Amino acid sequence: MAKTRSERVLVTPSLYAKSHYLYVQEAGSLQSLEPHISSRRNLNSYLFFVVLSGRGTLTYEKQTKELQSGDCIFLDCRKPYAHESSQDEPWRLTWVHFNGADAAHFYESYVEQGHSFFFHPVSILPFVETISQLYEISRDRTFLNELQAHRLLTELITKIYLQQEETYDTVPAKLKQIHEYIRVHYAEKLTLDALSELFFISKYHMSREYRQVYGTTLVSDITQRRIAHAKSALRFSDCPIESVAEECGFPDSAYFIHVFKRAEGMTPLKYRKKWQSL
């Protein structure tokens, strides 16, 4: 006898979609009819599912979570996981398995920023609607549908990130102060030691927490801000390269050229000529 009642679509993406897009592997919904354990590992896939009603348990990353209606789960299926519906309150789920270009990067970045594979949003409606749209367009494989699936999966991942915004409301005040200080003083001589001393915080703790909250290292954040302002100066002024380097906080023009080329794939002078010619 069937242990679940489900509707699902299995997708075979085109080679182009596999190389260039995020793509759906499977999407659907199910109603559990009786308790049973679904256990998998080593799947080259990422799974997002929503508990629509009922209860159950999930085991993942050596943790066992009690799940209930309104919970959302985001998993890397290359790792072992197992879930089981409650006997007293069988659950109803909707889900999407996906993979593709940058899927691993998205998930790794999500984890590196300290986000959990488990969360309970204020409303599951935006997630359910996106999965429903993915289910509908995945029934017929066309180039346009694959492109739309890529867009919807990108939106889904964005929504997963955005629901973590409440995390930023609990960011320690000192980290917020450091972030704002860098925004204003990016052109000054900034070092981890100097920031540590200025804000009375261990530089190791500061570096670790900053990366978790803002998704980038302190040094990278400072460099990215300097490069962004340098690009503006190169495009909208005729200041010499040496002056641009100094204005944006680089110690000398040679180092500025090296860092700029690594970031943009061309020298500052070539960048200026390219953009000013437009």
Q: Is it the case that residue 121 has pLDDT exceeding 90?
A: no
Residue 58: predicted pLDDT: 94
Query: What would be the CATH architecture of the domain defined by 4-167?
Result: Sandwich (2.60)
What is the crossing angle of helices 192-199 and 173-185, to 10°?
Answer: 130
pLDDT tens-digit readout, 181-211: 998 999 999 999 999 999 889 989 898 888 8
23, 17 in Cβ contact below 8 A? yes
pLDDT tens-digit readout, 123-171: 899 999 999 999 999 988 888 999 999 999 999 999 998 876 554 455 6
Please state the pTM of the whole predicted model.
Answer: 0.67
pLDDT tens-digit readout, 54-96: 999 999 988 899 999 999 999 999 999 999 998 888 999 999 9
Q: Is it the case that residue 248 has pLDDT exceeding 80?
A: yes
Residue 51 CA to its chain's centroid (Å): 22
Residue 168: predicted pLDDT: 46
226, 250 in Cβ contact below 8 A? yes
Q: Indicate the domain borders of the chain.
A: 4-167, 173-276
The CATH number of the domain covering residues in 173-276: 1.10.10.60
Count of CB atoms situated within 10 Å of the CB of 11: 21
